[in-house]
Amino acid sequence: MKPFRVLCLDGGGMRGVYQAAYLRAFAARVCGEGDTELDVGRCFDLIVGTSTGGIVASALAAGESLSKVDRLYEEHGKEIFPGQWIRRVPWVGLVVPLLGLGTRRGETALRSALEATFQDKTFRYVQEVRGISLALTSIDMARHAAVVFKTRHLRRLNGRDDNRTLVDACMATTAAPILRALARLTEPGGEAHVVYADGGLWANNPGALGAIEAVEILGDREEARPIHLFMLGALPAQGGEELSDRRRYRGALGWKGGLHAISASLNSQAVGYDYLSKKILELRKDESMAFRLPAQCPSEQLLKYIQNMDDARPKVLNALRRQATSDVDYAWAQSVKPGSEMAHFRAALTDGLCKQKGEG
């Protein structure tokens, strides 16, 4: 029996380019020579995304090509995060996020780019036409409550998000405080307005959410299948800092207006939720597993670039693509080892290709 396959995509701002390039490169390896473009979304039963990972997840679930996702970042990144040149000036660049400069223009640019990518596709479309379960994280600011937009893949769900557009959900999951405007959305089927913030504030790594959703889905269906859950990051900069006694006593300026506090939260979540997702699935004792797709240590230059989630300069995006290609080379070598986690990931895409060709 084939495992229930889950793909979880972390948040990371413009570093979503890395995720799109990684999946595209690995899929190309699976397809080999020829013009076939693998429908990566249909290789998974459930796709879960947060923030920029929510955009990539939505594209996969909706059947949009990864090259189209890459173009979204390439062509619109500097409009989504305007004032690129001043953002890179030491200390002076802090003025942009501290004062929220450009957030109104950035919101308009992002919505326009998302509408061009997804049109009016909804969660109902993803479930009924594509046959894929999808979950995206956010926060309801009126209640400071964690929210998960999802397809109706569980019996207990009432279809709240059936008519919610992918555009609206992506606006909500990517609404990063300081870097972006919060998202004000009209709820489906009503006149109520709700303000949402980035889901990365509580689940930048949505692996644990993916594990819980998968367990409940299989319980609903009464299917005894192992779960293979794969997590793909957005190449976060290595966190951590050695602090002198004097630097312990720092205010907002020392935290760079709160940006460093957010980074600390995101980095610690990546580690903590990796552990939780693995433990949740290990406890099933049926060969279920959770695995973070491997990434090599970035170059010194790239490490400087990825300190900021809003860096949309072409040279930064190209460096992210180069790193993704290198990481896929490494991961592909691991995938030839029978029974390895990467072999299971390769099998997911290979099975998807066979099904796409009508062979599975």
Q: Which of 10, 51, 263, 311 is catalytic?
A: 51
List the one residue out of 273, 280, 229 whose CA is nearest residue 47: 229
Query: Is 198 a residue of the active site?
Result: yes
Residues 52, 15: Cα–Cα separation, whole Å: 8
Among candidate residues 10, 162, 198, 274, the one labeled active-site is: 198
Amino acid identity for residue 126 in this structure: V
Look at the chain and count its residues: 360
Is the Cβ–Cβ distance between 17 and 78 less than 8 Å? no
Q: Is 51 a catalytic residue?
A: yes
Largest CA distance in the chain: 65
Instruction: With CA atoms as reference, report the closest residue to 214 among 358, 330, 48.
Output: 48
Give strand pairing partners of 4: 227
Q: What are phi and psi of 195, to 5 degrees?
A: -100, 130
Q: Which residues are part of the catalytic machinery?
A: 51, 198
